[in-house]
C-alpha cells in the first residue's frame, strides 16, 4: 500500500470515531409524563415556568437552592429543584431546557438553559432596520 492510502484510511477511521462519539451526546427532549416513566434516567425537558405557582428562592438563606413548578407543552407540571444560583432573567424566560433526572416525584435539575424573549419581539420594524444596517 502507498503512504497516501494509509493516511487516507487513518483519516477515515478518525472521522468515523468522531461521528460515533457525537451520537452518544444526541438525546431527545422529553415531556414531563415521559420523564416520570424514565425515573432516575438523565433526560432533557422543554418547559416554561408556571407563574401561577410560587418560586422558592432565598439568596440570603441559600443562594444555591431554587424551586419552581415547570409546565410542559402538554399541560403537565412538575416541581423542579435546581441546586445552583438562580439564572439572570429567570422570570422573563419564555422557555427552559432542563437537564436532569426525575427522582421522588420531582425533577432534580443539574443544568438549565433559558430562552429569553427577543428584544425585537414587540417592534418588528426595529429588527428589519438592524438587519438592513440603517438606524
Q: In whole angstroms, what is the distance from residue 41 CA to residue 86 CA? A: 24
Identify the pLDDT of residue 89. Answer: 85
| pLDDT at 39 exceeding the cut of 80 | yes
| pLDDT at 43 exceeding the cut of 60 | yes
Instruction: Please state the rounded mean pLDDT for residues 33-38.
Output: 91
Q: In whole angstroms, what is the distance from residue 55 CA to residue 51 CA? A: 8
Name the 3-class secondary structure at 109. Answer: strand
Q: Which residues, other chains included, contact 91 with Cβ-Cβ below 8 Å and sequence gap of 6+?
A: 49, 51, 55
Whole-model pTM: value is 0.67
Identify the pLDDT of residue 124. Answer: 57
For 90-130, the pLDDT digits (tens) are 888 889 999 999 999 899 999 999 987 665 555 556 555 55
For 53-98, the pLDDT digits (tens) are 999 999 999 999 999 999 998 999 999 999 998 998 888 888 999 9
| pLDDT at 19 exceeding the cut of 70 | yes
Residues in the chain: 135
* CATH-assigned architecture of domain 28-115: Beta Barrel (2.40)
| pLDDT at 22 exceeding the cut of 90 | no
Q: How confident is the model at residue 21 (pLDDT cuts 50, 70, 90)?
A: confident
Instruction: Please state the rounded mean pLDDT for residues 39-55.
Output: 91
Q: Which three cell numbers stand for residue 27?
A: 438525546
Amino acid at each position: 500500500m502507498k503512504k497516501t492510502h494509509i493516511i487516507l484510511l487513518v483519516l477515515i477511521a478518525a472521522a468515523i470515531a468522531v461521528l460515533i462519539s457525537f451520537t452518544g451526546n444526541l438525546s431527545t427532549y422529553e415531556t414531563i409524563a415521559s420523564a416520570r416513566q424514565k425515573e432516575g434516567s438523565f433526560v432533557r425537558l422543554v418547559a416554561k415556568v408556571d407563574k401561577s405557582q410560587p418560586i422558592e428562592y432565598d439568596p440570603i438563606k441559600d443562594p444555591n437552592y431554587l424551586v419552581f413548578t415547570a409546565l410542559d407543552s402538554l399541560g403537565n407540571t412538575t416541581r423542579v429543584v435546581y441546586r445552583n444560583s438562580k439564572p439572570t432573567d429567570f422570570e422573563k424566560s419564555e422557555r427552559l431546557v432542563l437537564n436532569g433526572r426525575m427522582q421522588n416525584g420531582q425533577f432534580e435539575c443539574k443544568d438549565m438553559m433559558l430562552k429569553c424573549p427577543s428584544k425585537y419581539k414587540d417592534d418588528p420594524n426595529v429588527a428589519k432596520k438592524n438587519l438592513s444596517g440603517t438606524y
